[in-house]
Amino acid sequence: MRQDFYATYFALQSEHWWFTGRRKIFIDLLEARGPEKRPLDLLDFGCGSGAMLEHLGRFGTLSAVDAEPQAVSFCHERGREEVRHVPAGTPLPFADASFDLVTALDVIEHIGEDVATLRELRRTMREGASILVAVPAYNFLWGDQDEISHHHRRYTAGSLRGHLEAAGFRTEHLSYFNTFFFPPIASVRIARKLLRPPRPDRSDFGLGPKWSNRLLARVFAAESRLVKGPGLPFGVSVLALARPA
């Protein structure tokens, strides 16, 4: 991600509708379909500025890493001293079979060799452990935010499943999400491509009025029941819950 946007995200992650809505979706899915054993040994891979850590901590003992020193500094500012800096592409500083649950939430799209990274995460997982992976969906939605975030790709449900299987995982649950807002988001992104040059200096994340932010957060979070149940057939993002094969 562009370094100058970390401070913006750090300020927004506790209240912006996109961050708060997706947190509810992730936590509800882990409560419903994650490992039954508690407490868990858990790794949050690519934790960013650390907004998810306090929510994931309910599941057990938490470890976390990020490749960006600035992100790690923001985590430490939150008081999350357990977060460690691990440069991209280097082995994780954990023994084999260390974790019952691994999360990689909007992370692997930033990595050139995503399958190799998933294999390294698999190495750290115990028998019967779960991994929750979330990524942006559909290449036709590529826009300024992908450039700002230094994404390598967007995924479909099928390609995410394929990358997980290539890394030695068996996908147990697969769903798109951010489905309710898909029509306006897709319309805006397609229109921007057609009507103006790229603007990689402008983020999609603006807070707006408090009332509209709260409303958007509730609508987004309302997808949780469908995501953890039958799943959703399309959306701006896609997630998978998988286990080592």
The Cα–Cα gap between 8 and 203 comes to 9
pLDDT band at 211 (very low <50, low <70, confident <90, very high): confident
Domain boundaries, the chain: 3-244
Beta-carbon-side half-sphere exposure of residue 49 (alpha carbons within 13 Å): 18
The Cα–Cα gap between 181 and 235 comes to 8
- At 3 the pLDDT is 55
In percent, the amount of the chain with pLDDT more than 90 equals 70
Q: Are 91 and 65 in contact (CB under 8 A)?
A: no
Q: 169-177 and 237-244: which strand pairing? A: antiparallel
- At 185 the pLDDT is 93
Q: Are 110 and 153 in contact (CB under 8 A)?
A: no
Do you find a cis peptide bond into 35, omega within 30 degrees of 0?
Answer: no
Domain over 3-244 is classified CATH 3.40.50.150: yes
Beta-carbon-side half-sphere exposure of residue 99 (alpha carbons within 13 Å): 27
Whole-structure pTM value: 0.91
| Per-residue b or e along 21-36, where b marks 16 or more CB atoms closer than 10 Å to that residue's CB | bbbbbbbbbbeebbbe
Closest CA to 13 of 62, 54, 61: 54
Q: What is the pLDDT of residues 160-201, one digit of tens each?
A: 999 999 999 999 999 999 999 999 999 988 888 887 666 656
Across 206-221, average pLDDT: 86
- At 56 the pLDDT is 96
The Cα–Cα gap between 56 and 23 comes to 9
- At 149 the pLDDT is 81
15 token code pair: 């209240």
Average pLDDT, the chain: 91
pLDDT at residue 46 above 60?
A: yes
